[in-house]
Amino acid sequence: MPYKNIEHSFLKAMSDKFAEKPESTATDFYVYGGIAQPGGKRKREFIAEAEKIVAARKSGTPAYNPDVGMPQGQRFLMPYMLNHTDIMVNHDDLHWINNAAMQQCWDDMKRGIILGLDDAHGLLEARLGKEVTPDTISHYMEVLNHALPGGAVIQEHMVETKPMLVNDSYAKIFTGDDDLADAVDRRFLLDINKEFAAGFEGEGPGGQADQLKEAIGKKIWQILWMPTVVGRMTDGGTMFRWVGMQVGMTMINAYKMCAGESATGEFAYYAKHAAVVMLSNFMPVKRARSQNECSGMPLGINADSVRSPALFPNDPIRNELESIAVAAMVYDQLWFGTYMSGGVGFTQYASATYTDNILEDFCYKGCEIGLDYADGEMASIKGDKLNMDILEKIIRAENDYCLTQYEAYPTVAESHFGGSVRACCAAAGVGSAVACATGLAQPTLSGWSLSMLGHYERIGRLGFYGYDLQDQCTACGSYSYQSDEGMPFEMRGVNYPNYAMNVGHQSAYAGLVAGAHCANKDAWVLSPLWKVAFSDRDLPFDRGYVTREYGLGANREFCKVAGERDLIVAGYYGREPGARV
Long-range contacts of 146-153 (CB under 8 A, 24+ apart): 147/246, 147/249, 147/250, 147/253, 148/224, 148/225, 148/226, 148/246, 148/247, 148/250, 149/227, 150/227, 153/249, 153/250, 153/252, 153/253
Q: How far is the C-alpha of 396 from the C-alpha of 404, rounded, in Å?
A: 12
CB atoms within 10 A of CB 56: 9
- What's the per-residue H, E or C state across 467-498? HHHHHHCCHHHCCCCCCCCCCCHHHCCCCCHH
Rounded to the nearest 10 degrees, what angle do helices 358-373 and 388-408 cross at?
150
Give the three-class secondary structure for 225.
strand
Q: How far is the C-alpha of 108 from the C-alpha of 86, rounded, in Å?
A: 25
Q: How far is the C-alpha of 559 from the C-alpha of 545, rounded, in Å?
A: 15
- Residues carrying an active site annotation: 155, 349, 466, 502
Of the candidates 94, 145, 74, which has an alpha carbon nearest to the alpha carbon of residue 350? 94
Give the three-class secondary structure for 393.
helix
- What's the per-residue H, E or C state across 112-150? EEEEECHHHHHHHHHCCCCCCCHHHHHHHHHHHHHHCCC
Of the candidates 372, 457, 373, which has an alpha carbon nearest to the alpha carbon of residue 423? 457
Q: Can you say whether the dihedral through the CA atoms of 553, 555, 558, 563 is positive or negative?
A: positive
CB atoms within 10 A of CB 263: 18
Burial of 390 (0-12, 13-18, 19+ CB in 10 A): middle
Give Cβ neighbours of residue 219 (< 8 Å, ≥ 6 apart): 116, 118, 175, 176
Q: Do 483 and 427 meet the contact criterion of CB atoms below 8 Å apart? A: no
Q: How far is the C-alpha of 341 from the C-alpha of 344, rounded, in Å?
A: 9
Give Cβ neighbours of residue 283 (< 8 Å, ≥ 6 apart): 289, 290, 293, 295, 296, 495
Rg (CA), the chain: 25
Strand partners, 220: 175
Give 3-state DSSP helix, strand, coil % of the chain, rounded to 5.
55, 5, 40
